[in-house]
Amino acid sequence: MDRSWLLVLPSGFIVCFFVFASVAQAAVVEHTFNVGNLSISQLCKPAMIITAVNGQLPGPTIEASEGDTVVVHLVNESPYNMTIHWHGIFQRGTPWADGPAMVTQCPVTPGATYTYRFNVTGQEGTLWWHAHISFHRATVYGALVIRPRGDDDAYPFPKPNREETLLLGEWWNASVYDLERMAFITGNTAPPADAYTINGKPGDLYNCSNANQTYGFQVQSNETYLLRIINAALNTPMFFKVASHNFTVVGADAAYTTPYETDVVVIAPGQTVDALMVAGAAVGRYYMAASPYDSAIPNGPPFSRTTATAILEYVGSATDAPPQLPPRPEYNDTNTAFRFFSNLTALVLPGKPTVPLSVDTRMFVTVGLGNTDCQPEQLLCNTTGTRAPIFAASMNNASFLLPDAVSMLQAHYANASAGVYTRDFPDQPPVIFDYTADASDTAVLKYTTKSTKVKTLRYNETVEMVLQNTRLIAKESHPMHLHGFNFFVLAQGFGNYDEATATPRFNLVNPQERNTIAVPTGGWAVIRFVADNPGTQILSRLHFG
């Protein structure tokens, strides 16, 4: 057992060797995912999606019950390398099925087939799956719903009459692969999305978008709907509202929450929210609206200030009745975002893990942007001047570089990590400075270099990590996703983390459990997790370009 390790990398992770004995009989949920072409007309522009699963956008929903085995045969009929990540699935004992290219597996090459096989044990709620290579997740994504084993009555809330899955996304007219290649080669940021989408469709507020490009569903007066909301966008946190309807949040990231009443759901890329909604308004038609929360101050990348809509239609309503549009928060409404994110708490249930009270390892990790040099492969990079203004994601001043010859997990198993990664990801930033002051713009840590560093953890140790946003290029609410674990969110706030004032605010009773946290813009969050899932796990910021 003391041979087992966990490694946490800069833009990603952890390492493994431990296989758990597991659950008894349960169903096998089997799918074949053919990745290939889908021709579509979006924003009046005919387009060919080169990487769509089974000719669908979003791809198929995987429906499983707790304890089931999921088997997905990935058939890559596209001209690109492909992998799929099962976002939020722990992958205990199957770390090679997690999906990140060159971290836990080599990519599935064009024409090849690969089978993912994993168990969904000890998890219930809404998760999702997406490509984990290049930025193919813009079109390769879908929902993964895990119901309680046996019966829906096993929900820890009144059984809803119906369920509805809503995947929020971003749409680009051009090929996202080409945009990403161009951004890489030039060192520029990728352009903002042309539209936001709900279940693949932008909705009729966009010019040249019509009823055929608007998602909708019917409701019956007074029935209760469980909305499974997933933010599958590459970059943009979203405000989600339904005109004249409120929500009771009952889950987030496949962890049950104390019921939380709200008129707006705030959801960062990678996150999910399960919310009950009663169809209690007058018979009629109502817009559901997904609008951006852009937190980047002051020089954030450009983003689209548009709204995706879908339509909620009561049975008995005139089909041409003009839908009511909900008022939407301003794009920079950090108060509303913070109120939602910070008010969720876990529903403490017997037998479920609770927050560990003692800590073995403490890490302080700065997250934000830095500048770096053009790499030789960046052929159109502007190298005029002493240092090219290339943006790079940075954690403790390290910017993660994927290995190119062998995956990290494979190198780890083969005991051949030399030349693939180093075990020196630091527990603190190399320099302590005023992380969030405007003057930090000139701080020494603005410049970062590319490396493949990991943090090694002992099996079963408890890790507490402060995630501190920096203002080096721009403050921004960064969604940070940890693979292989749910973590507990003890506290979050703005400015520089101050242990003396933060510790008394720690929620050690019922902190929310997440796999993805939106670290407050220009602020910090404290998370805890038990390193009991050996493997090479990524901790990463989700972003495009």
Closer residue to ligand NAG, CB minimum distance, 78 or 366: 78
Is 507 among the residues that bind ligand NAG (CB under 6 A)?
Answer: no
Residue 523 phi/psi, 5° resolution?
A: -145, -155
Widest CA span of the chain, in angstroms?
Answer: 67
151 CB-contact burial (10 Å; exposed 0-12 / middle 13-18 / buried 19+): exposed
Q: Give the binding-site size for ligand NAG (rule: CB under 6 A).
A: 46
Question: Which of 46, 207, 351, 504 forms a contact with ligand NAG (CB under 6 A)?
Answer: 207
Is 44 among the residues that bind ligand NAG (CB under 6 A)?
Answer: yes
Question: Which of 3, 46, 153, 222 forms a contact with ligand NAG (CB under 6 A)?
Answer: 222
Is 27 among the residues that bind ligand NAG (CB under 6 A)?
Answer: no
Question: Which of 23, 182, 185, 443 forms a contact with ligand NAG (CB under 6 A)?
Answer: 23
Asked if 434 contacts 470 with a C-beta cutoff of 8 angstroms, the reply is no
- Residue that is written with structure tokens 């009929």 in the block: 77
Peptide bond into 58 cis (omega under 30): yes
Closest distance to ligand NAG from the beta carbon of 344 (Å): 9
DSSP 8-state symbol, 324: B
3-state secondary structure string across 434-466? CCCCHHHHHCHHHECEEECECEEEECCCEEEEE
Closest distance to ligand NAG from the beta carbon of 462 (Å): 8
* Residue 244 φ/ψ region, left for φ over 0, alpha for ψ in the -120 to 50 degree band, beta for the rest: left
Is 119 among the residues that bind ligand NAG (CB under 6 A)?
Answer: yes
In the numeric block, which tokens belong to residue 441?
A: 């713009």
Q: What is the DSSP string of 418-430?
A: TTT-BS---SS-S
Is 20 among the residues that bind ligand NAG (CB under 6 A)?
Answer: yes
Question: Which of 173, 218, 507, 510 forms a contact with ligand NAG (CB under 6 A)?
Answer: 173
In the numeric block, which tokens belong to residue 279?
A: 């169809």
- Of 206-214, 287-295, 363-371, 391-399: span binding ligand NAG (CB under 6 A): 206-214
Task: Return d(Cα 171, Cα 197) in angstroms, integer.
Answer: 7
Question: Which of 27, 30, 45, 150 forms a contact with ligand NAG (CB under 6 A)?
Answer: 45
Is 460 among the residues that bind ligand NAG (CB under 6 A)?
Answer: yes
Question: Which of 46, 350, 385, 504 forms a contact with ligand NAG (CB under 6 A)?
Answer: 385
Question: Which of 34, 161, 258, 342 forms a contact with ligand NAG (CB under 6 A)?
Answer: 342
Which residues are near ligand NAG by CB under 6 A?
20, 22-24, 26, 36-37, 43-45, 48, 50, 69, 81, 93-94, 106-107, 109, 119, 173, 194, 205-208, 210-212, 221-222, 244-246, 263, 306, 330, 332, 338-339, 342-343, 382, 384-385, 460
